[in-house]
Amino acid sequence: MTADSLDRDLAHLPADARWREWLLRIEAVLFASASPVSRDDLARVVGQGVSVDLLIDDLATDLHARPVEVVKVAGGWLMRTRPAFAPVIRAAADVGGQALDLREFDLAVLAAIAYAQPITRDGLKDIFGKEISRDLIGRLSAQGLIATGPRAPRRGAPYTFVTTNHFLTAFGLQTLRDLPDREQLEDAGMKTG
């Protein structure tokens, strides 16, 4: 069956069975996808005019007592294991390179990039009072958390750095607007500037 031949409307099924089939389709797509799936992409597997949001809500309800959940991140939805089960999975499964390898300073640099992007290495140096190594930038880039942004509009046009959709997904954010407010960070005891 190709996407063109997919019966999206399922008019031959009773309403309850049709809804259940659409729900299973959404679950299958989210289960199989390694990255967030947009509303438009999910709408391709259900009938015209069907509310993807309501299907997602029903799926989340179905999964409530299960070790997996549906989360909205990076402009779409993703199915992932609930954080409470992370130790169990690490103890018994080969999770390979899925875990982020970040030190405390790495997280601080990543946060600075997220809040100040696009930012140059000189901009990071101004924030931290020291040069940020190419190795650190390379590690964050290799993990898919940052990418090069537009060139800075100044002499030499240095590269800037920005966060990626993988950053949003890894930290459970829908958009950068979901980053904690700087005041919240300061209230929690973090120095932000």
**Residue 161: Cβ-neighbour burial (10 angstroms; 0-12, 13-18, 19+):** buried
pLDDT by position in tens, the chain (length 193): 555 678 888 889 898 998 999 999 999 999 999 889 999 999 999 988 889 999 999 999 999 999 999 999 888 999 988 888 888 887 887 666 566 778 888 888 999 999 999 999 999 998 888 999 999 999 899 888 999 988 888 888 888 999 998 898 888 888 888 888 877 766 665 555 5
Q: Which domains, from first to last, does the chain contain?
A: 15-92 (1.10.10.10), 100-187 (1.10.10.10)
Tell me which amino acid residue 109 is: V
Q: C-alpha dihedral over 132, 133, 139, 142, to 10 degrees?
A: 90
pTM over 0.85, yes/no: no
Rg value, the chain, Cα: 21
Question: 158 and 120 in contact (C-beta within 8 Å)?
Answer: yes
- Note if the bond before 118 is cis, omega within 30 degrees: yes
